[in-house]
Amino acid sequence: MQYRGTYIQVDLNAIARNTALLRRSIGETPHMMAVVKANAYGHGLVPVAMTALENGADWLGVAIPEEGETLRQAGIQAPILVLGGVNEKGAAASVRFGLTQTIFDPERVYMLEAEAARQSKSVSVHIKCDTGMGRIGVRNAEELDAVLSAIASCSHVCLTGAFTHFADADGAGNNYSMAQMKMFEAMQKRLPSGILLHAAASAAAVRYPQARLHMVRQGIILYGCPPIEDCPPVVPALSWHTEIVYVKSIRRGDCVSYGCTFTAQRDMRIATLPVGYGDGYHRALTGKAMVIIAGRRCPVIGRICMDQIMVDVTDVPSADAAVGSPVVLLGKQGTEQITAEELASWAGTISYEMLLAATARVPIHYITCQADRA
């Protein structure tokens, strides 16, 4: 049951339109993966996955087997790639739920073989090639050959793909990315033919068409946050809303919130909102953030509390800044808009983290897809 007026809103029409637009932008040859890890970047794992599959995606990408299990339990049958490594329990789940598992060492190959044999199933795997990201992946021909040899010795493990990930696709230059691409091309010569090769995520799919290969992994751009300039005109799908619960007048010299870090320089009207860092509205936004009330930007004042924030509404007409008046923390109201990128800049982080910021006590309200998505 929800009583408070603080919630996330996700417009699945925007997800549908973005997916269809991105599908058109990469052409018909490559497959398109919708990356829905981390609860679809805070947008809701199952609703986003279903919407993306209905509008042009044909693969799904998750970080951990638990996410793939949730998708399978929701009835989704599309191919799902687990992008991270797994332990024995994770390997068992990947086999059980028919997930394609990322591998990068012989140990994980043998782990998957043992689980697949125990369950009398086969398991599909993609080799991760570390060409410069420095996380997981085979780093050279010797390591790649060791993994290929392990696969060849296993009767239940089927190699169906290989991929890499760019570390600086959204950076100013392209030398590092091109060096990564050349290294991946060299590794491809040691791979069997007929497998699915992929390298480009959101930014690289735009900047480096030659890196699209057999599949493009669409992540942050799917949610309406362009990682670089000159992206297809995607639109944000997520917005964050609350309401005013109290309005008071304070005098010049009065202090607001913990630590008395804010002192009024004039007589003011202050609105209190029922949201705080306990909801994921980061304390780092203190002294920098703005919200939108009645189509106007209003500064957040004083330190952000666990459950409440205070906002200067002195310049908003009293009738428009009253108890119950709607407030936008992230998103658009009238002609004003606060983007995830702007919110992130105030908090000293990136848009990805701001999309994921809302905690479990903030419910998600969905705008469901309409038939007309043109």
Catalytic residue numbers? Answer: 37, 258
| Burial tier of 44 (Cβ tally within 10 Å: 0-12, 13-18, 19+) | buried
Give the up-direction half-sphere exposure of residue 369: CA atoms within 13 A in the CB hemisphere. Answer: 22
Count of other CB atoms within 10 angstroms of residue 5: 17
Helix boundaries (H) for the chain: 12-25, 37-42, 45-54, 65-73, 88-96, 106-119, 141-152, 175-188, 202-207, 340-347, 351-355
Residues contacting residue 178 through CB under 8 Å, at least 6 positions apart: none
Output DSSP code: residue 129: B
CA 20 – CA 268 distance, rounded (Å): 48
| Burial tier of 137 (Cβ tally within 10 Å: 0-12, 13-18, 19+) | buried
CA 131 – CA 134 distance, rounded (Å): 8
